[in-house]
């Protein structure tokens, strides 16, 4: 091809490079992905005058400073978050490579040799230097779509990173609440052991004096022994909860125990408002955002595979300098070359067609995953709302039950100490009072954990892309 023909062809090829083959990606919405996304939630929303819609760093709004300290420490030290951040860095590195621009390589070499001819030494130096440039024209948009796919994967990994932070914060919060509830339950059981021991001592005196049957002594001893083993089991569960917090935060156990002992009561969260529009809520979840960006990347990969079925043109160029220094003389020569390389797929055994089919199947899988994420998110949010509403309404009744059963127990205890009550009635009153107190603590724990679960289900106040970039740096 003559030079002037080549110069005319290049602009034409540049115009052709504006073409993109393959499907045009349409961003799906939660409402198009699942029929389960209705205009309104099917569970009662929390109603409170002190609510806030700000979920970013929501754990700092608990009335227990240790909650914020443990979550912040876990976010800094936890390997799961570190892994997610490393995946962001990997995706960012892949997205930084741009195949639209020319590639330039430089090579240089030099060698020294000594030839002996007829007893005479002839040293020589051979050196070369060359610059090679290649530029593949993006005729059908494959390179551009490959870059878009890499950028979409980077955005997806950013969302995954935030999702891992939200999940970790919720896990730390739940474990702390469970530990506080465990300690509160252990305190109730310890009080029950002390009360049961007093009853046993009084019963033994009555048995010795002949005022009551020996069977009552056996019943009282058995009740005290059962109370002790329940307390031992409860304290062991509290120790297990501490181990879980140690794993999440990497705080040494003696230090963590000291921090936990400073405030044994259940932490109370600040309420927050929830918008009544499910589609808006779902758009704030990082897992759905990640699934959508992975879907976009899968769509772009279809374009990449489709573009490989069409001809490709690369422009190749090189400039070289060769030098030879021999016997005091230096010889140099220069060379250059420039021209296009045209590749036309003719027969590949169906490989390129299969690659397109594979990319399409990968897209279908990604879309199914997106649908599953949407449906799972709806279930998770609705479930958290149901649990929060139920436990909020249960708490007052549980408190009334615990109070009145405790009054009933104290009345029977006073009658027994006065000698007019039955030990069997006393132990039954003790049992029901204990169950009521444990139930109240459980309901209080479940209500707080429902707030934490709802925080996680709502996406934890997912930041904008710009804010995510700033935090990841």
Q: Which 3-state string (H, E, C) describes 169-224? A: HHHHHHHHHHHHHHHHHHHHHHHHHHHHHHHHHHHHHHHHHCCCCHHHHHHHHHHH
Mean pLDDT of 130-136: 68
Which pLDDT does position 451 carry in this prediction?
Answer: 92
What letter would DSSP give residue 98? Answer: -
Residue 421 has pLDDT above 90, yes or no: no
Which pLDDT does position 196 carry in this prediction?
Answer: 87
Instruction: Compute and round to an integer the Cα radius of gyration of the chain.
Output: 37
Which pLDDT does position 2 carry in this prediction?
Answer: 47
What letter would DSSP give residue 106? Answer: E
What CA–CA distances, in Å, run from 412 to 63, 380, 427?
A: 38, 46, 9
Which pLDDT does position 50 carry in this prediction?
Answer: 60
How far does Cα 25 stand from its chain's mean position?
26
Which pLDDT does position 420 carry in this prediction?
Answer: 82
In this predicted model, what pLDDT tens digit does every residue of 216-230 receive, in sequence order? 888 889 989 999 999
Least confident segment among 113-117, 333-337, 340-344: 113-117
Bigger pLDDT: 312 or 187?
187
Contact 430, 196 (CB under 8 A): yes
Question: For residue 413, what are its two tokens?
Answer: 């205890």
What are the strands of the beta sheet with 103-117, ordered from one edge?
Answer: 103-117, 120-136, 312-326, 329-343
Mean pLDDT of 53-70: 85
Percent of the chain with pLDDT over 70: 80
Cα–Cα distance, 128 to 206 (Å, whole number) = 111
Which pLDDT does position 470 carry in this prediction?
Answer: 44
Contact 300, 143 (CB under 8 A): no
Which pLDDT does position 265 carry in this prediction?
Answer: 87
Question: For residue 74, what are its two tokens?
Answer: 């876990």
Contact 235, 186 (CB under 8 A): yes
Which pLDDT does position 228 carry in this prediction?
Answer: 92
Neighbouring C-alpha atoms within 13 Å toward the C-beta of 459: 27
pLDDT bin (cut points 50, 70, 90) of residue 1 is: very low
List the helix and strand counts (H, then E) for the chain: 12, 4
Least confident segment among 121-135, 192-206, 247-261: 121-135
Q: For the chain, give the mean pLDDT.
A: 82
pLDDT bin (cut points 50, 70, 90) of residue 466 is: very low
CATH of 25-100+140-310+354-472, one of 1.20.1600.10, 1.10.287.610, 1.10.10.10, 3.40.50.300: 1.20.1600.10
Residue 286 has pLDDT above 70, yes or no: yes
Burial class (CB in 10 A: 0-12, 13-18, 19+), 455: buried
Cα–Cα distance, 67 to 59 (Å, whole number) = 6
| Token pair 């070369």: residue | 128
Which pLDDT does position 27 carry in this prediction?
Answer: 87
Q: Which residue, among 231, 235, 222, has the nearest Cα to 193 in the 3D structure?
A: 231
In this predicted model, what pLDDT tens digit does every residue of 86-132 receive, in sequence order? 888 888 887 777 666 666 677 777 676 666 555 566 666 767 766 66
Contacts of residue 67, Cβ cutoff 8 Å, sequence gap at least 6:
59, 60, 172, 173, 176, 267
Least confident segment among 339-343, 369-373, 402-406: 339-343
pLDDT bin (cut points 50, 70, 90) of residue 147 is: confident
Bigger pLDDT: 442 or 48?
442
Which pLDDT does position 387 carry in this prediction?
Answer: 93
Which pLDDT does position 416 carry in this prediction?
Answer: 84
Which pLDDT does position 7 carry in this prediction?
Answer: 46
Mean pLDDT of 152-166: 91
Return the sign of the alpha-carbon dihedral for residues 251, 252, 255, 256.
Answer: positive
What CA–CA distances, in Å, run from 427 to 276, 434, 437?
A: 49, 10, 15
Please count the residues of the chain.
473
Q: Which residue, among 246, 357, 238, has the nearest Cα to 309 in the 3D structure?
A: 357
In this predicted model, what pLDDT tens digit does every residue of 350-370 receive, in sequence order? 888 898 899 999 999 999 999
What's the pTM value of the predicted model, to 2 decimals?
Answer: 0.81
pLDDT bin (cut points 50, 70, 90) of residue 52 is: low
Bigger pLDDT: 49 or 193?
193
Which pLDDT does position 131 carry in this prediction?
Answer: 67
In this predicted model, what pLDDT tens digit does every residue of 426-439 receive, in sequence order? 888 889 999 999 99
């Amino acid at each position: 091809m003559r030079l002037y023909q080549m110069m005319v062809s290049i602009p034409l090829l540049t115009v052709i490079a504006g073409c993109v083959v393959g499907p045009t990606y349409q961003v799906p919405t939660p409402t198009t992905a699942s029929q389960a996304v209705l205009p309104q939630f099917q569970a009662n929303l929390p109603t409170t005058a002190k609510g806030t819609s700000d979920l970013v760093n929501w754990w700092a709004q608990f009335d227990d400073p240790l909650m914020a300290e443990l979550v912040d420490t876990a976010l800094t030290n936890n390997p799961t978050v570190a892994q997610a951040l490393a995946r962001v860095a990997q995706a960012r590195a892949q997205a930084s490579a741009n195949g639209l621009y020319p590639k330039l390589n430089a090579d240089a070499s030099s060698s020294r040799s000594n030839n002996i001819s007829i007893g005479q030494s002839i040293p020589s130096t051979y050196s070369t230097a060359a610059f090679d440039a290649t530029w593949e024209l993006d005729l059908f948009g494959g390179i551009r779509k490959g870059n878009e796919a890499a950028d979409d994967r980077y955005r997806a990994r950013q969302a995954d990173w935030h999702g891992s932070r939200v999940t970790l914060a919720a896990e730390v919060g739940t474990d702390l609440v469970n530990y506080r509830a465990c300690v509160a339950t252990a305190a109730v059981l310890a009080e029950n052991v002390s009360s049961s021991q007093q009853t046993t001592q009084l019963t033994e005196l009555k048995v010795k004096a002949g005022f009551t049957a020996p069977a009552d002594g056996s019943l009282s001893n058995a009740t005290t022994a059962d109370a002790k083993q329940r307390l031992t089991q409860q304290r062991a569960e509290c120790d297990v909860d501490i181990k879980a917090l140690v794993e999440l935060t990497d705080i040494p156990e003696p230090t963590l125990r000291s921090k936990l002992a400073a405030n044994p009561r259940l932490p109370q969260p600040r309420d927050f408002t929830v918008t009544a529009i499910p589609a808006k809520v779902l758009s704030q979840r990082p897992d759905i955002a990640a699934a959508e960006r992975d879907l976009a990347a899968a769509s772009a990969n279809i374009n990449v595979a489709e573009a490989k079925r069409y001809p490709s043109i690369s422009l190749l160029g090189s400039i070289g300098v060769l030098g030879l220094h021999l016997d005091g003389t230096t010889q140099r020569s220069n060379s250059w070359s420039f021209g296009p390389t045209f590749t036309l797929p003719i027969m590949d055994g169906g490989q390129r067609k299969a690659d397109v089919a594979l990319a399409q199947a990968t897209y279908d899988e990604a879309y199914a995953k997106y649908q599953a994420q949407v449906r799972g998110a709806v279930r998770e949010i609705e479930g958290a709302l149901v649990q929060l509403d139920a436990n909020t309404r249960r708490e007052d009744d549980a408190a009334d039950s615990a109070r009145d059963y405790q009054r009933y127990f104290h009345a029977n205890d006073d009658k027994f100490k006065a000698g007019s009550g039955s030990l069997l009635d006393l132990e039954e009153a003790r049992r029901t009072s204990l169950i009521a107190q444990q139930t109240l603590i459980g309901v209080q724990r479940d209500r707080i954990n429902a707030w934490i679960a709802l925080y996680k289900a709502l996406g934890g106040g997912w930041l904008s892309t710009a804010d995510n970039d700033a935090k990841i740096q």
